[in-house]
Structure 1
Amino acid sequence: MSSLLTFPKGGVHPPASKGLTANLAIEVMPVPDELEIILGQHIGAPCTPTVTPKDAVLEGGLIGEVTKGLGVPLHAPVTGTIKGFGMSGHPMRVSAPSITIQTDTEALPVQYSRCDWQKLSKEELLAKVHAAGVIGIGGAGFPSHVKLSPPPDNPVDTLILNGAECEPYITADHRQMLERAQEIVEGALVILKILGIKKCFIGIENNKPDAIKTMTEAAAAASTPEHTVVVQPLQVKYPQGSEKQLIQAITGRKVPGFALPSAVGVVVHNVSTARAIYDAVVLSKPLYEKVMTISGKGIKRPANLLVKVGTKVSDIVEYLGGVTPELAKIVMGGPMMGFAVSSLDIPVTKTTSSVLFLAEDEIDTTPHSQCIRCGWCLNACPMGLEPKEIALYVEAGRPQDTGQFGVFECFECGCCAYVCPAKRPLVQFIRLAKMKAKR
């Protein structure tokens, strides 16, 4: 275990809790009668609708676009009719503008066929990634075509695909690596061609030996003298899948504060994003459906599902047989970085990795107390920040003074709150500080 790569500072070891779904093959969820597609699913300006109520739309057809600023287009996940515009529930913003589509249940799924992408130029490949609306599926939703166009003054020499999937419960990437290994690796080759580089590493935590084996075989079969894809097993430690920690583990390079990975010659994509890039370039298929994990003791039937973007959590619950009497909390995302929600009327977006239905014995409802100055959060923080000081300053009404403790370098992994013996909601304090402080 000691010879496996990992990042040097901090990190924690929460229970993996992946046994509920790790061995469940991806199943296709039937399309609901109605979908609500949120217009702002990516970092940058939300989409402007290109459709009007009562318009007929085809599966994969354009329904929204960004005309200026950072962003990607939005596509209809189904063939149907535009029912109207409104506001939908959102796990972070409470509500967000959306388009509602009434599904045509008689329509046949669109069939996509391969193109010879090897003959396309870098610019043509990038245009296909943008046109398909591909964003970072595993994280904050950064437009992929922008990440694939690093600034010329930062030459890139390494691509890393993130298959760590270090968050407890979530197994969506794991299942895709088992069931779609060749597509992920071909997506990596597309990215290598766009970036004009030769080397790709796929980082996978060592608790997924089946994925390591499957991906290693696919990588070996696809590698050529021009493009090499290598699977790198990693030590099991959270947050191994965080971009900066993954880069340091695999390459030994440390990304400076507030800098992008390209500053140290690296581009990082999630394995699911690589598969979406494969769909976009090889099949000309837009990103409008995604694999997600539904888990926890509070759902009757845990599953890894392929769902259409815009599917409501309530429809997923109904499909899986409802919730159990033990249900105590619903979290969109993982237990470390996700958001608890109070409603099932929230639609899935391109970045929704999971919905967890947690029972009483899977959560901790102990009230928090004052900081006991034990320093555990300092040891756990992978960025070397001072979470306890940030929290104390927020409680004292001085969030504007927290920049000195690194508040803007925090990526809200939750390690500090996880180890805190006083159960202090440190991540929530940090989020509050970011909102109120000016950088």
Structure 2
Amino acid sequence: MAGPVGTGAGGDAWLARYSHSLMGVFGTPQRVLVRGNGAVVWDVDGNEYLDLLGGIAVNALGHAHPFVTSVVASQLATLGHVSNFFTSPTQIALAEKLLGICGAPEGSKVFFANSGTEANEAAFKLARAHGKTHSQPGGPARSVIIALEGAFHGRTMGALAMTAKHAYREPFEPMPAGVLHIPFNDIAALRDAVDETVAAVILEPIQGEAGVRPLSAEYLQAARELTRAAGALLILDEVQTGIGRTGEWFAGIPGAAGNDGGPCADAVELPDAVTLAKGLGGGFPIGALITIGTGPSELLSAGQHGTTFGGNPVATAAALATLHVIESRDVLGNVRRVGAALAAGLAAIEGVTEVRAHGLLIGFDLGRPMAAEVVRLALDAGFIINAPRPATIRLAPPLILTDSQARRFLTALPAILAAAARSISSTGISTKGEPS
């Protein structure tokens, strides 16, 4: 891997055109990427990068996986889009497959969307429908949705209302009413909050955008018990953690097929609903809301929710192909092995103060707010990483990352950290990294 690298004349020209024609909601892109293979990508100037972010936990099988690309091309050449006035074999097969992986009982259902925020928007409506259906006559309205401080559930208005970060919410207030954010991993606060006014509790088993923070097994078990006792739904947001990211199919569903003891294993019985996206399509946009059991699955009736593109034949074919490869190539085993080695290597590096690793979802702290400078210097050295917090780096590489690729990053990181520390000390830079 050659380095250091940066934007050349070709990249600068494309970025100028980008600034002229696209909304600035993402700021200036770091590079103009044109090609990928496995866990490696190349930019328009020919520079090579090890992708340790995977499109923010999306590219489960890396870039241009031959089986996934062949399935998508074949499906697109056969039947691309039909609208939801019709269905397709791939849509039905994927729903059946997901229900099987979850270990979902008879009566469970799936709704397909295009993204994680859309899946969570559907979950928001599911919660409100549950509240209306289960409010007692003459009693208080059951409309409150509980989320956690540090939560990120998306950027559409319902999902944004459940997202905790003030900077995301403030420009668009007032938010949809009735969402209560309570302290993270605080069972006492959860117990105080869950009562007959609560329609649902939505939790990320591991908060990725907050720096890879896991909920405890005890908290997840308490959430299941308290919501059941109060007649509220328990919804798990596995948009970032689902589909093998942690080395298990799901982080918060110990009964899922093939789960051997993930970070939340034995922590919680099946929730009432689960949201998925990101890695599900292996890079192709798809999201899903899975409702567990007959009750939650009957809350939304015909005409109450919908989507034009959700569950289209190409997206569902891509997801089926991704799941097939994960199952048939021991990808979950690779995630556990390489993730453990990467975590151990990070913990041994001077300047890394804490490592929180769950398979190939890894957050590590630097002890000082220099994460954005580390990201910049890592990119120049040929590594794509992310700074969700000022002093935290997040890694979410393709699940097929190899041992040698992990070692390459570990070998380069000490020099990157040292250079970032010098840069911060000499210039006073304290640029904050933000989640995407």
| TM-score relative to the length of structure 1 | 0.24
Indicate the structure with greater strand content.
1
TM-score normalised to structure 2 length: 0.24
Q: Which has the higher helix share?
A: 2
Q: Which has the higher contact order (CA 8 A, sep 6+)?
A: 2
